[in-house]
Amino acid sequence: MRVNHAGEIAAQGLYHGQALVARTPATRELLEKSARQETDHLAWCEQRLRELDSRPSFLNPLWYAGSFAIGALAAAVNDRTSLSFVAETERQVESHLTDHLARLPDADIASRAILEQMRRDEIEHGRVATEAGGDVLPAPIRTLMRGTSRIMTTASYWL
């Protein structure tokens, strides 16, 4: 759950950075709405961490700052690139959550409920971003995003 919490911290940074630099009000509103929904995910993960007698990652400030910068950079290119970045991020998060759900013990009903709702919401965020103009990012960027995500998830698990 610590990894999921760190991912939600990163999502906040990403959406805030993108919204700050968005060129159109419509794109800004879409990003701000998604960030508000991610706040629910963050709260659920925080609560579940407490219930599991665990803690957030010590690296969360780094994840937020780095994601904010990446989001602002993507949005600085243009709104289409920013929306494409959202769509790809959500595809990768969906894949992570699907994998996590497959490994989660059946008895952990509380975590499963949280992750299933998060997965549905992330799919919706990706769909909305695609419908608003997001496109498929070039393969090297998608690969770089996956690699960065692996570093974040591994470091957050331990730290």
Tens digit of each residue's pLDDT (9 = 90 or more) over 93-146: 999 999 999 999 999 999 999 999 999 999 999 999 999 999 999 999 999 999
What's the mean pLDDT when you consider all of the chain? Answer: 94
CA distances from 23 to 63, 75, 79, 103 (A): 24, 8, 6, 41
Number of structural domains (the chain) is 1
47: domain CATH number is 1.20.1260.10
Give the model's pLDDT for residue 37: 86
Q: What percent of the chain has pLDDT over 90?
A: 94
| pLDDT-based confidence at residue 38 (cuts at 50, 70, 90) | confident
Asked whether the predicted pLDDT for residue 84 surpasses 90, the reply is yes
Residue ranges making up the domain that contains 59: 2-158
In percent, the amount of the chain with pLDDT more than 70 equals 100
31 pLDDT band, cuts 50/70/90, is very high
Mean pLDDT of 25-40: 91
> What is the reported pTM?
0.90
